[in-house]
A and B are shown apart, each in its own frame.
Chain A
């Protein structure tokens, strides 16, 4: 049991330092929004108890149809969603077939239990991407792009047989006809045209030969309705040819009455084909006799989209659904629901419809009306920023104080008197609230109506991939306001914020230089479209450069490398840098842009990640006081740029640059390791330190976290930045101390907490591959921890503990606790200070959204939740009683001592 002992030892070492969440804080200080990503109508399965879908973000999920909550989710990042098929295996199981992300020539197939999410089996085939799937006698038949058909056993996933198409035939679709017990392959051949092949479903042997249905192989819109095959030819899309798969004969053709964008058909008794046209927003139904294809009638429908399910016709618009019976065309039910969104698709079952909107929202409508709505637009957000909200009344209070300070004494006195008398009217409510709080002991500022005194409430503004904005209230995670389709079709590429007194202007930049502002003051005040930047080019990047203390310039890079300023161009010369391919380029703006330097990586290396210190991060002390009261001065360079790189053979490198001068301040290579190149190197720049991490196979396997602490000099009390504060003066290179640690799980992204005044310690926030978010105290990642010896008394005074390379697998470091936060391949972490110095708000996005409050140095400036007012009052009362009782006794004793009577 050595390993157990080892585990325990490591566990106990940091138990004291773990700053875990309290049970009563979980789900109170944090919120988590589970997301699915964009849903595709072809990958949605309905059942009475669930709605199963495989989203474009590779999330296989089952949704409770009654309330829209997620029953279970699997993040299948090794399955390419765009090349996948979701099909029903039987009443309670589903099948997913998809091209593998690591090798697109491989199809991965897996069966899942619909209710629990349990895997039934999983298998791989090197057959190309899956094209079409059908099920028959409980087994699965998969047609793949390499022209291979496999039959899989339903219970085991084992291959029953495999069939390969002959050379010259390319696969289109697969169908199963119950009458004939054969599998029909719809194929095309340049020589023989478009037609079908039959294979025996039991043996996989070819039955008969190729039957041509059309001499032109370029058939389009190929669809199978029950036993009918429909297709059209490129030049004549309105003529739809129909063939029967049961007897492999062409039945004839039908003609669409107008141009259409899509059609659907059902054949039970007769043939009904519903056409929809996006351009004209119209839909119509054409009815035919089944055997002769005789046209019966054409019915023009009222709503833009028509879809057929068994014997029902659904007419759908963005805000209403009309259900009709197909036989009589009588209206069965009608649902109306308010929406401002544009309809993208409608997918219906026999009882309900899922509507997809262009803004990324989805609605589920049953015969009882709108059941629920999900907003999936926040997945893979383009840009994120945090808007601080002023405390209510702060503005008027400030105005009053200013007025009273500047007015004549008498006027100021009268003003104040009136103000106080007016304020008296609030006294009863205040007193009531005071006693209420006193009695209940509930001092949670957020829950109280007294407003957000601690600055926990902010707007998190996300630009969606659908060209919209979502402002999330950081207290609940719900959208406080939203805007859809800001630039009517143009994608958003960047967000920037500019504060003008109490108003906050959010600049939204479109992909082609369109500009809009959203003015926020407490809530959204106004929106305005500004004149587009005359770029004549695509926008590459939006960034801001600090000009002075509280002023910054917002700038845009175009794809061809031109620089444009969003609001006003700065008058001072500006230095900045940009990553171009695998090099870092420095620029000087002085009315025109000139390139100053180019930092190129060594041969074979490519940039993995970059990081700079947050421009608003504050340092409260410029040095680190050592045990002997001497000071190591921190290397606080605001232009520090950390660049990490990997090469193909598995080496990593880090370069610390001064991004104004291009000087390399420090570099390190990890060539004796085998690094997971696909995961890359993650990096974050804190105050005077850099932390980066990478997964390495050698020598000790694991995620390695390296910390670099930068000081001005290795000699205590030596400080040159007192006299030199220009990046262009030759200064000694920073003294870098480094240490490496082994972290238990893969890290996908790193960030650092930022408190209001920078007094609070910093935590390194890490998004983990285990779908969790961890907070590591920087105190653990300290490059000064003594190696292979106990700390001396002086080092103990400095707060150093003995170096231990293993960071414990302590789940109390996990700030997302029991929640499974799926952040995907590129998680985005933002930390922003609250008004309380102790508290930092952390927001992560990617696929899910997760928000929490962390206190890296404990919540030292608020009363702890465990503070018991009743206990305090009782203690004081008890002490008062004791004084009253003991007082006379002591007095009596003192008198007796003086006067000797016993």
Chain B
């Protein structure tokens, strides 16, 4: 790859116990699925990469990954003259969040680990490849989104849907029933009584406790009987209303 070839000619001036630590930021965002093409990422030139311990501190900026440098994307980075030690490598980017790495610079060797914040420093995470490869964890989120008034969202609210349906049942259904031909209505009731499960036909009489207790078959037949008798005596829902009134009067 291009950036690897450039990494090769990034300058080093070997000095006693001073090393060069190189790496690059992943130029593509992780693909959401294997078939979708990877999304190329653009890093700002203000992105700083720091390598720090309590005694040493190194800071570098992103370098061009290919030539010509003027038009190349900035993804590579290199620290020069790093003395031996154990460092924390972090990327300070305004737009992206990166994992924090542990970089151990030892004689002739640079060991890179994922670091787990809050753990004992001697506990290292999984080993990472060198040259360092940093994949962004995601975009940095600085803002809260203000939830404005949204009529669509309002209708997605289950409470509103339930209340609207109830309203429809209370106001619209009785009228529909009243406008129907009395004979047709009678037919409908008979049909309902036969085909529909009793529970749906008259949900007011549904015995939830016994249903859950598994006594559904016995109780449903009971209620079915009650409903069918009710349906045969009156006509439609106005009759049940009448029944309620009569019970009140007793």
List chain A positions with a Cβ less than 8 A from chain B. Answer: 2-4, 6-7, 18, 20-24, 26, 72-74, 76-78, 92-93, 102, 106, 113, 115-126, 155-159, 650, 674-678, 695-702, 742, 744-746, 769-771, 805-806, 809, 811-812, 814, 817-818, 820, 865-866, 868, 871, 897, 900, 902
A76 to B46, CA, bound (A): 11
Name the residue on A nearest B248 (C-beta). Answer: A897
Q: Across the interface, do A697 and B121 meet the contact criterion of CB distance under 8 Å?
A: yes
Name the residue on B nearest A808 (C-beta). Answer: B117
A74 to B120, CA, bound (A): 33
Chain A residues within 8 Å of B192, by CB: none
Contact of A121 (CB < 8 Å), options: B63, B88, B137, B148: B63
Q: Across the interface, do A93 and B69 meet the contact criterion of CB distance under 8 Å?
A: yes
Chain A residues within 8 Å of B148, by CB: 866, 868
B175 vs chain A, min Cβ distance (A) = 13
A77 to B52, CA, bound (A): 14
Q: Across the interface, do A818 and B46 meet the contact criterion of CB distance under 8 Å?
A: no
| Residue interface mask B103-124, A partner, CB < 8 A = 1 | 0000000000011111111000
Interface segment, one of B73-81, B181-189, B194-202, B221-229: B73-81
Known interface pairs A697-B54, A812-B142, A817-B142. Does A3 touch B114 (Cβ–Cβ under 8 Å)? yes
A76 to B59, CA, bound (A): 8
Chain B residues within 8 Å of A93, by CB: 69-70
B249 vs chain A, min Cβ distance (A) = 8
B97 vs chain A, min Cβ distance (A) = 7
A814 to B97, CA, bound (A): 13
Chain B residues within 8 Å of A76, by CB: 59
Q: Across the interface, do B62 and A123 meet the contact criterion of CB distance under 8 Å?
A: no
**What 7 additional pairs, Cβ within 8 angstroms, besides A72-B45, A126-B15, A700-B117?**
A23-B145, A113-B69, A122-B60, A123-B12, A678-B57, A701-B115, A902-B242
Known interface pairs A118-B64, A700-B119, A701-B88. Does A20 touch B11 (Cβ–Cβ under 8 Å)? no
A16 to B61, CA, bound (A): 34
Contact of B59 (CB < 8 Å), options: A3, A22, A78: A78
Q: Across the interface, do A677 and B61 meet the contact criterion of CB distance under 8 Å?
A: no
Q: Across the interface, do B118 and A820 meet the contact criterion of CB distance under 8 Å?
A: no
Interface residues on B, range: 35 or more
Contact of A120 (CB < 8 Å), options: B59, B69, B121, B140: B69
Q: Across the interface, do A119 and B62 meet the contact criterion of CB distance under 8 Å?
A: yes
Q: Across the interface, do B10 and A121 meet the contact criterion of CB distance under 8 Å?
A: yes
Known interface pairs A158-B11, A702-B117. Does A119 touch B60 (Cβ–Cβ under 8 Å)? yes
Contact of A113 (CB < 8 Å), options: B52, B64, B118: B64
A507 to B132, CA, bound (A): 56
Q: Across the interface, do A696 and B54 meet the contact criterion of CB distance under 8 Å?
A: yes
Contact of A123 (CB < 8 Å), options: B13, B61, B94, B100: B13
Chain B residues within 8 Å of A20, by CB: 142-144
The majority secondary structure among interface residues of chain A is loop
Q: Across the interface, do A699 and B64 meet the contact criterion of CB distance under 8 Å?
A: no
A31 to B49, CA, bound (A): 26
Q: Across the interface, do A92 and B46 meet the contact criterion of CB distance under 8 Å?
A: no
A11 vs chain B, min Cβ distance (A) = 10
30 A-B residue pairs with Cβ-Cβ distance under 8 Å, sorted by A, are A2-B125, A6-B116, A7-B137, A20-B143, A22-B146, A23-B143, A78-B58, A113-B64, A116-B45, A116-B74, A118-B69, A119-B74, A120-B63, A121-B10, A122-B60, A123-B12, A124-B81, A155-B67, A158-B11, A695-B54, A696-B54, A699-B120, A700-B119, A702-B118, A744-B117, A811-B97, A811-B140, A812-B141, A866-B148, A902-B242
Known interface pairs A2-B116, A122-B80. Does A812 touch B10 (Cβ–Cβ under 8 Å)? no
Chain B residues within 8 Å of A771, by CB: 92
Q: Across the interface, do A806 and B118 meet the contact criterion of CB distance under 8 Å?
A: yes
Chain B residues within 8 Å of A74, by CB: 45-46, 61
Name the residue on B nearest A698 (C-beta). Answer: B121
A156 to B242, CA, bound (A): 97
A503 to B182, CA, bound (A): 89
Name the 4 nearest CB pairs between A and B, nearest first: A117-B45, A157-B11, A817-B142, A676-B54
Chain A residues within 8 Å of B238, by CB: 902
Most buried by B among A74, A115, A123: A123
Q: Does B53 contact A (CB under 8 A)?
A: yes
Q: Across the interface, do A3 and B125 meet the contact criterion of CB distance under 8 Å?
A: yes
A355 to B46, CA, bound (A): 28
Chain A residues within 8 Å of B247, by CB: none
A698 to B64, CA, bound (A): 36
A157 to B92, CA, bound (A): 25
Contact of B146 (CB < 8 Å), options: A92, A106, A866: A866
A658 vs chain B, min Cβ distance (A) = 32
Q: Across the interface, do B69 and A23 meet the contact criterion of CB distance under 8 Å?
A: no
B2 vs chain A, min Cβ distance (A) = 15
Q: Across the interface, do A21 and B78 meet the contact criterion of CB distance under 8 Å?
A: no
A820 to B140, CA, bound (A): 14
A49 vs chain B, min Cβ distance (A) = 12
B45 vs chain A, min Cβ distance (A) = 4
| Residue interface mask B132-169, A partner, CB < 8 A = 1 | 00000100111111111100000000000000000000
Name the residue on A nearest B68 (C-beta). Answer: A92
B44 vs chain A, min Cβ distance (A) = 9
Chain A residues within 8 Å of B81, by CB: 106, 124
Q: Across the interface, do B116 and A3 meet the contact criterion of CB distance under 8 Å?
A: yes
Chain A residues within 8 Å of B72, by CB: 118
Q: Across the interface, do A699 and B143 meet the contact criterion of CB distance under 8 Å?
A: no
Q: Does B90 contact A (CB under 8 A)?
A: yes
Q: Across the interface, do A745 and B11 meet the contact criterion of CB distance under 8 Å?
A: no
Q: Across the interface, do B117 and A118 meet the contact criterion of CB distance under 8 Å?
A: no
Chain A residues within 8 Å of B13, by CB: 123-125, 158-159
A677 to B90, CA, bound (A): 20
A744 to B95, CA, bound (A): 17
Name the residue on A nearest B151 (C-beta). Answer: A871
Name the residue on A nearest B61 (C-beta). Answer: A119
Q: Across the interface, do A122 and B147 meet the contact criterion of CB distance under 8 Å?
A: no
Chain B residues within 8 Å of A117, by CB: 45-46, 61
Chain B residues within 8 Å of A155, by CB: 9, 67
Chain A residues within 8 Å of B86, by CB: 697
Chain A residues within 8 Å of B62, by CB: 118-119
